[in-house]
Structures are given as C-alpha cells and as structure tokens.
Amino acid sequence: MRIVELNDKTKEELLDKLLQRSPSNYGEYEDIVNNIITDIRKRKDEALFEYTLKFDKYELNSSNIKVTRQEIEDAYKELDDDFIAAMKKSAANITAFHEKQKRNSWIDTKEDGSILGQRVSPIEISGVYVPGGKAAYPSSVLMNVLPAKVAGVERIVMCTPPSASGKVNAGTLVAADIAGVDEIYKAGGAQAIAAMAFGTESIPKVDKITGPGNIFVALAKKACFGYVSIDSIAGPSEILVIADETANPRFVAADLLSQAEHDEMASAILITTSKKLADEVSVQVDKFIAELSRSEIMQKSIDNYGYIFVAENMEDGIEAANAIASEHLEIITENPFEVMPKIKHAGAIFLGTYSSEPLGDYFAGPNHILPTNQTARFFSPLSVDDFVKKTSIIAYSKAGLEAVHKDIEIFAKNEGLTAHANSIAVRFE
C-alpha cells in the first residue's frame, strides 16, 4: 500500500479522489436509465419482461415472475444448516437492536383545551431491491427487511434478478423468508426499480425502495426519488482505520481488505501516528492479497483507493477522519473510548481490537446499510425511522384560538394571504 505523510495537501487530494466515485458522476448512464424508466411506466409488464430477457436471458411472464413457496423450500435444501442457523441468530440480533429505535406517538394538552401531538405510523408498502449473481448478499436482505418489520410495515415486496434458468440465489430466498418478506419477484436492474416505483400489472407500486445495486440501480433510484422514497444513492464501500503503535498490524491489514474485496472502487484507508505500524501493515496487506480469493479485486482497490497516512499526532488524524466521514470507521488505539467522542462524522464506529468491521456487516445488530461518499456528515444508517412517517395533530378549542387569532391574522395579512386571515377572522365576527 502507498504510504503518505498526512498534511493539508494530501488530505485534499484524497477527498477529491474519493468524491469521484460518487454515482452522481456517472451521467453518461442517465439517459439509458431514464429511457428504461419511461418504458416501464408506459408498457409496464410488457417492457419488464423484454428487459429481463435482454439483460438476464430469462423469459419472464406473468405466471413465473413471482417466486413460489416451493422455490423457497427448495432454497432451504441448498444451504448448509449451519448457515441457516447463523442467519436466524443474526436476524434475532438485528431485530433486537432495531426494536430500541421505535418511537411512540404523543399528545400534549393545554389548560384551554388545545391539543397538539404527533402520530407515528408505518408506511404501507416497502420495496427491497437485492442484487443477483455474485453480488447476492443475504445479510443485506436481513438489514433491509427487518427494520421495516419492526416499524410495522404491513407489506414488504422484494425484487431480485433471476439467472438464465429462472432461479434466484438460494441465500437470498432463505434470508427473505427468515426476515418475513411477503412477495418476491424475479426482476432486476433499473427496470425493477421502475416497476416498484410506478407499479406494473404484476409488481405493486411501493412507498419506499431500499437496497444496494450497480450504477444503473443507483441512478434509477435517484431518478424515481420523489415518486417514492429511497434509502440513499449508495457509492462504493469504505473503511477507515485509526490506529496507534499499540495496534496489531496483521489485524489492521485484514480489516482494510475486508472492504477492499467488495469491488475495485472500494476505499481502504489507514491513519496512524506510527510509521513502524504503517510499514508493517503494508507488508501484511501484500501477504493477505497473495493468500485470499478475490485477490485481483483487492489489488485494484488498494492500487486505486488504498492509502496509509502517517499523521504527526492523533489530533491531526482525527481531523482527517472527520473530513473523510467514512462509511465504516475502526478505532484501534490504546484507549479507543478517548478517541470516539472526537469523531463527528462516520456511518458506524467500531471500537477496539475485537470489533472488526465484519461484526457489523453480519451479526452485531446495528444496520450495515450506511452513508457513503462523505454523506455521513448528514445521513444516518438505515433504521426504523426510515419506514415510518410522522403526522402532526392539531386541535384547538374556541378559547385557545380566540387568544391567538389576531396574531395569526397579522401574520397572514403581512404575507399577502387575505384568505388565510379570513379563515381565522370569520370565527370571531
């Protein structure tokens, strides 16, 4: 890995390079995506079936688009019992964590009889997109679906692309069943996003779409935002490790590569105050790449977006980490709990030697769908809040309105909205 001195210049160069990976920078694909969306809106199932044949080489129709119970049962038979048991344990942890995020409706009454409140209610239909093929991740199924279930969403619809033989990834189907997905449809790509956003004869229109995907899926979600809600327009995966001389270089190298193996645009960054650690981590990274599968992807990721920054002191390192606002942030220092309060921006923070990033990906319970591309400065992990809406409640008595009606009329008249003022004034003629 390249080892660089941390200073203002190298930090700015890194930030500029990382932002180039944003899906917003791939405008050359937008026309393709917009044409697909327009076609789906116009021809619905007919267009969806044609795109599935074109891109996935499967002849989809109204009788085979929906995954059957038998297909789900067959998927269970394809998986090891240990894997199924691990998924169920993970689902229990994810559910328990997200249960603590639930909010209650509330009502506040005043002496004059006025009532103000907020009603918290779930969205009606949630749509989940799950990639297919080698990019199929059952863990993401659990992370997308279970917060919706905890929120009380009544109907959860999933779209995932079929293989050329019409099969869906077995892990995806089992995870969906464990999480409680109501309907699964064999549709992928931008066309699946459009189908969920606008509805077809086979796939219902949903209120929100969540889930990862390639650049076409990301751009389709972006284009459909406003017609439906979305979780985010996710960029490539990121990990940043803050470490001092007490860190184990082999552990740090392993953690950096845990994200580098996702794709060639994933970023893996170490910020350390120890030049010795920097050198040792670089050596260990090379050793692991030679030993592990997906070595070609990891090598390209490290070559493109892998950095080891040597900081003069920990405060400079923390400042750089806040500027990067990484999706995943590990703190492997002598006392990580002293560093943590100084971190302002990160999707998820992992503290200490034995809290490596995959713990959050698979098992601990907090959601692994996290903000990327510096959006951790203003976005949060996927949560129960993403699947509920809040409605304001207002009920004034005559006495309550009478005490304030002149103030409201003054406000309305000053904005030139005389009908607004009149709506209040007529009640006290």
H/E run at residue 131: none
Which residue out of 238, 319, 327, 357 is catalytically annotated?
327
Q: What is the DSSP letter of 331?
A: E
262 is catalytic: no
* 8 A C-beta contact, residue 180 and residue 149: yes
Report yes or no: 141 and 130 within 8 Å, Cβ to Cβ: yes
334 noted as active-site residue: no
Q: What one-character DSSP code corresponds to residue 325? A: T
Whole-number Å distance between alpha carbons of 151 and 153: 6
Question: Residues 6 or more apart from 57 whose CB is under 8 A from it?
Answer: 164
Set 328, 330, 357, 368: catalytic member? 328
232's tokens? 């985010």
DSSP of 135-184: G--HHHHHHHHHHHHHHT-SEEEEEE---TTS---HHHHHHHHHHT-SEE
> Edge to edge, what strands does the sheet with 125-129 contain?
183-186, 155-160, 125-129, 208-210, 229-230
Distance between the two ends of the chain, CA-based, in angstroms? 78
Token pair 């079929």 in the structure block, residue: 162
| C-alpha–C-alpha distance, residues 49 and 79, integer Å | 29
Query: Contacts by 280-287 with C-beta closer than 8 Å and gap 24+?
Result: 280/249, 281/1, 281/249, 281/252, 281/253, 281/256, 281/308, 282/1, 282/3, 282/308, 283/249, 284/249, 284/250, 284/252, 284/253, 284/254, 285/1, 285/253, 285/256, 285/257, 287/253
Catalytic residues: 327-328
